[in-house]
Every structure is written in structure tokens, then in C-alpha cells.
Chain A
Amino acid sequence: MSTVELSLGPNFFNWPNEQLVDFYARIADEAQIERVYVGEVICGKRMPFSDKVFPEIIERLQAAGKTVVVSTLALPVTVRDRKSIVELCEWDGLVEVNDFAGVAKRKGKPFAAGPFLNVYNEGAAQTLVNMGMESVCPPVELPMTSIETIAKAVPDLDMELFAFGRLPLAVSGRCYHARAHKLHKDSCQFICDRDPDGMDVTTLDDENFLAANGIQTLSNTVHATALTKDELIEKGVKRLRLSPHSLDMVAVINIFRDLAEGRIDGEECAARLRALPLPGQLANGYLTGKPGHLWLVD
């Protein structure tokens, strides 16, 4: 019988090491989740800190039977950023590539593609499968019709759907945390650590709109893919990706576990998510090709 797996995406935010260690320890011990992506994908400047704890985090997750995938930077800029991608791509385990620099370095060895890599169609997917891609989480703006087309045209590929969390919408050379605090990127004081789910950005008439996280811009809303298990399988989705936030992620994983195993439907999933302290309203517009901030029900 077909199943839908769950994965925990890479953490986008600048959490202190103790929080990272505790967070992943709890995932290892309490979360029913098949796959966990770990590693810094947003800002190379954070790596000297978090790099110190990732080896023990990986060990702990692997000991708990989770498949660990090491995620790499979305926008490598400095020599150090580039070196990190080269080194991580040499890893014998599975690596998530978020920039074509990684595809080049991984050539021949299997890799997973994250949502920062532009895989918009079956041709691009097949080209990358020929180079070793075995799993893809497509860009978040891609509608379900396109995702289904890719999944069916390239059956060897594991299709992973971004299913929970603030949407990663953009990356930039500029750091918006530094800019908002009138600091320079090179002397940013790592001020992004003040916002464990991103810095709220509202419109001039006080409407919640976006969230900044260093060089990254996310949605203020929390995207939730609330399709039923049968619908997911029918559309070729192999795995749901849940993106880490500072709320109780084990509770989030439990809700999606119930969805993935067919015990609850989308409506129930959304209702249970809303009972949690989400950083924003639920949204799912992208799935039907509509504006990403909308919440649409059938």
C-alpha cells in the first residue's frame, strides 16, 4: 500500500546552539518522522556557530533511526560559503542542494533538491535526475498541477511537497535584519537571533504581510498543504516537508502524521493547526495557482 512520508525541512532561523540541540533531540526522541534535513541554508555567517553542534545533532537523529540529509546554502557568496558547499557535497550521506554550485560538486553522487533550486518542469527535473537527483521539493510558488505533472513524468523521482511553514519567498545579497536595525551586513551583530520565526513586516495600514530573516524574505502566513492522503498519493506526492518554527513542532508533526496516514482530512488538519500558536494565518493559495497568501477551501 502506498504511503506518504514526512520530512522536517532545514531550519531557516538563527537559533542559539542550545535551542538547536534541544530541538533536534526532541525530534529524535519524540517525532514520528522519516527524514530530517539539517544544516544552515540561509546565511554563511551563522555557520561557524551552528557547525559546532550539527555533528552531534546528526548522530543523535541517526541513532533514532531518522534519515538525515545535510542541507547546503541557498546563496553562496563568499569563499567560505563556497568551501562549505564543496565540503558538504563530499559527504557520503544524502545532501540537499539549494544552488547549482552544489549540483556541480555532487555530480555522480545522489542528491536531493531543495525549494531554492529552480525545478519548474519535467524537463528540468529529468535533466537533474540524470545527474543524480533522487528527491525534489519544488519552489513554493509552483502550483499542484505542475507538481503532479513533474511527479508523473519523472516517476523515479521522489516528490516532496512543502507542506507547513512560512513560505521561503526570496533571498537577497542584502541583509534586512541588519538594514532594519541600521547595521551593516558585515557587522550585523547576528541580530537575526532576536526573531526565532522571522521579523514581522507589516504594511502601512498594519496588515501582516511578510517576515524577514537575514537575507531571506518569508511570508507572514503559514502555508499548510491540507490535501487528504488519497489526493496526495493520486498526485504523486511521496513526502510532505514541514518547515521548522519555534512552536511545538512535534505537535505539528503529529497532525501531519494523522493526515498522511488518512486518519484526518484537510479541514481537521487546518483546525488542529489553528489551535497552535502559529506565527501567522494559514495560507495555501499557491497550490491552486492563486496568490500565495490566500487560504482557499474547496
Chain B
Amino acid sequence: MSLETTQDSHLLELVCPAGTPAALKAAAEAGAHSIYCGFRNETNARNFPGLNFSEKELNAGVKTAARHGANVLVAVNTFARAGDTELWTRAVDAVAASGAHAMIVADLAVLDYAATHHPNLRLHLSVQAAAATPESVNFYAETFGVQRVVLPRVMSVEEIVRLNKEIDTETEVFVFGGLCVMTEGRCSLSSYATGKSPNLTGVCSPPGDVDYQENGGTLSARLGGFTIDCFTQGETAGYPTLCKGRFQAEGETSYLFEDPVSLNAASLLPKLHKAGVTAIKIEGRQRGKAYISQVVKAFRTAVDGLREGKTSEEEVSAMLASMTEGGRETTGAYKKIWR
């Protein structure tokens, strides 16, 4: 369980990613209040090769985190495959046995199993469930006893304020890292191009379906055979994440869905706190421990600064400067102009 002193002393709980036991340790040492991770299989939405935890590693990770006063949250947040749901129910049993603080879930079948078989296991609703209204949040809270909801990255701060006034459930929001522009858990773009998607297999724009083609001085970055972006010589070739590509529409070429930017809402922490948000979340379970360590330290500084009533914006901004994708960042949907 959590150390009560830690829980009481911060205004915003800092939730940090860990793709490996080493990253978990780095996050704990850097001051994470909570650390989220998943099993090394299709039950979690970051099912990349070389990432994630075995049951044994999770059990050890819970102890490591506890030594630093941090909680572990386990993501079992993909949608169980029809006819093969045991992989998911086994994962739920393993989370319950590990002593982790909570489980992050999206699928009704998994929620139902957890609520029925492990009524004491704390449930957080994954962003993959895309619950954005009081009606949907209350549905999950009343039906399965969900205690916290991770909000989709399509909501503005004003909408979060309104939502929090109408629900008793805690809210957690993403503040840094990758940015889904489509409503999470409602996006099949990746499977349309590759056959694999977050909901089906726990991956988006998977590396195995990426190739780069050189043609007359232009490098095409392709996904499932579709050109997602092109780069001229000297340009840094980016990874072809489908929704961050350059496309043509109405006779113009543009990053139609989203520019290749990453989310950085560090400057909005006071507003998010005021909006009634309980926890802030950093994306990036695929990141190495050096990255995790630096980003966690920066946000811990920001959260501590907020508690102490001092402005740490410049300091935090400097700490994060080199950590955003290609150096470009956005506050995303939190500011309504994004739409």
C-alpha cells in the first residue's frame, strides 16, 4: 500500500511510466509517486518487443517502488481477444497477487472479472476506454467500482473542470510524451494499414510494418506500404506514426491530423490542479531509464513547486527542453484552439 505521508503531501500525484524493471527503479529514485507498467504480453497497450514485466518482475517491482514510497499501477488495458480471455483474467489474478496499488483497465470483460473475483482490487479506468462525460464515468464507477479515470487526450481544461464537478471519481490526465490525436481506444487507423492496432494487439504503427525507401534523394517513411511522410536530404527522418504523417487533402499537403509534436502540459499544472485533477501522467513506457529519470525529476520539481506555492516553470522547462520529440511540443487539446 502507499505511504500515507507521500499521498498527503502532494497536490498532484505524479504517475510515471516503466517499461522495464530498470526504468521502474529509475522512476522511483527520481521521485515518482506512482509508477505504471504492464505484463510482457498482449494484455497491455504497449506490447513492444523487449519491454514490460514478467509476474516475478512485477512482484519485485512493487517492493522496489514501496522502498521509495511509490505505488505501482498495472495496465491490463487492451481488449480481451474473443475466445481467449484467459490471458486477460490470468493477468488480473497476477496483479491482485502482486500487491500492486491498482489496475488500469479498459475492457468490460476484464472490469467485470476484476470486480467479481477481486472486489478489493482498486480499479482505474484506462484512457483506452475513452470515458469523457459524467454519464460514462459514472457508468464505470457505479457498475464496476472504478475509483479513478484516466481522461482521453481530447479534452480541454474547461471540459475537465466541468467533468470533475459532476463526478466523485478521481481523474488522471496525461501531461507529457506521446499525443494521441484520435480518441484513444476508438482508433483503428493502425490496423487499417498494418492489421495490428492498440485495441487488437496493444501496438500502434508497429516497427515490424515500417520501411524506409530512398527514391531520387527523397526518403519515404512507410507504414504497411503507405507513405506516411517524405524527407529530403539533410532532413531528420521521423518515425512514421500514422496520425503524425503528412498527407494531401483539398489540394494541399499538410500534417492533416497532427504535427509530429509531443505533449507538454507542464505549464498547465496549476490550472489542472485547480480543475480538480488528482494525478498527472507521463507517457512513455517505451523510453529508457535516462529519459524517465530526467522527465520524472522535472515533473517532481514542478509538482513540489506547486505545493510550495512557488513558480518553477523556467527551471522545469529547461529540464524538459531536450526531451520532446524533435524539440517540438504542444499543450494539445487542453487549450481549445487545438481543435
Interface residues of A (CB under 8 A from B): 74-77, 79, 82, 85-86, 99-105, 116, 118-124, 127-128, 139-142, 145-147, 149-150, 153, 167, 169-176, 178-181, 184-186, 199-207, 209-210, 212, 217, 219, 285-286, 289-293
Contacts and interface: CB of A to CB of B under 8 A. Distances in A.
A212 B256 CA distance: 10
11 contacts: A82-B134, A101-B133, A104-B142, A118-B129, A120-B109, A123-B108, A123-B110, A141-B197, A171-B186, A172-B182, A286-B191
A82 B166 CA distance: 13
B2 to A, nearest CB: 29
A186 B338 CA distance: 11
B241 interface: no
Contact of A174 (B159, B191, B333): B333
Contacts of A217: 182, 189, 257
Interface residues of B, number: 69
Given A173-B155, A180-B250, A200-B249, 19 more contacts: A77-B132, A82-B135, A85-B135, A86-B135, A104-B136, A121-B107, A124-B80, A141-B188, A146-B82, A150-B82, A173-B154, A184-B337, A184-B339, A201-B256, A202-B248, A206-B248, A210-B192, A219-B192, A285-B195
Contacts of B142: 104
A217 B80 CA distance: 24
B246 A204 contact: yes
B247 A169 contact: no
Contacts of A199: 249-250
Q: Which 7 A-B pairs give the minimum distances between C-beta atoms?
A: A123-B109, A173-B154, A101-B135, A120-B79, A146-B82, A104-B139, A185-B339
Nearest to B113: A123
B250 A149 contact: no
Given A100-B140, A127-B109, A203-B247, A173 B183 contact: yes
Interface string B261-301: 00000000000000000000000000000000000000000
B226 A203 contact: yes
A180 B256 contact: yes
Q: Which of B109, B224, B246 has the most CB of A within 10 A?
A: B109
B183 to A, nearest CB: 5
Given A203-B226, A210-B247, A139 B199 contact: yes
A74 B229 CA distance: 30
B181 interface: yes
B253 to A, nearest CB: 7
A203 B189 contact: no
Interface in B131-179: 131-136, 138-140, 142, 152, 154-155, 159, 162
Interface string B120-133: 00000000011111
A22 B191 CA distance: 36
B82 A121 contact: yes
Given A101-B135, A123-B108, A286-B191, A118 B183 contact: no
Contacts of B140: 100
Contact of B229 (A145, A204, A291): A204
B106 to A, nearest CB: 7
B237 to A, nearest CB: 13
A116 B132 CA distance: 14
A94 to B, nearest CB: 19
B252 interface: yes
A120 B80 contact: yes
A200 B249 CA distance: 6
Contacts of A146: 81-83
A286 B199 CA distance: 14
B185 interface: yes
Contact of B109 (A103, A121, A204): A121
Given A139-B199, A171-B186, A173-B155, A292 B227 contact: no
Contacts of A120: 79-82, 107, 109, 199-200
B228 interface: yes
Contacts of A85: 135
Contact of A101 (B80, B136, B162): B136
Contacts of A147: 82
B331 interface: no
B94 interface: no
Q: Which of A128, A176, A200, A217 has the most CB of B within 10 A?
A: A217
Contacts of B194: 291
Nearest to B254: A180
B6 interface: no
Contact of A204 (B187, B248, B257): B248
B188 A291 contact: no
B336 interface: yes
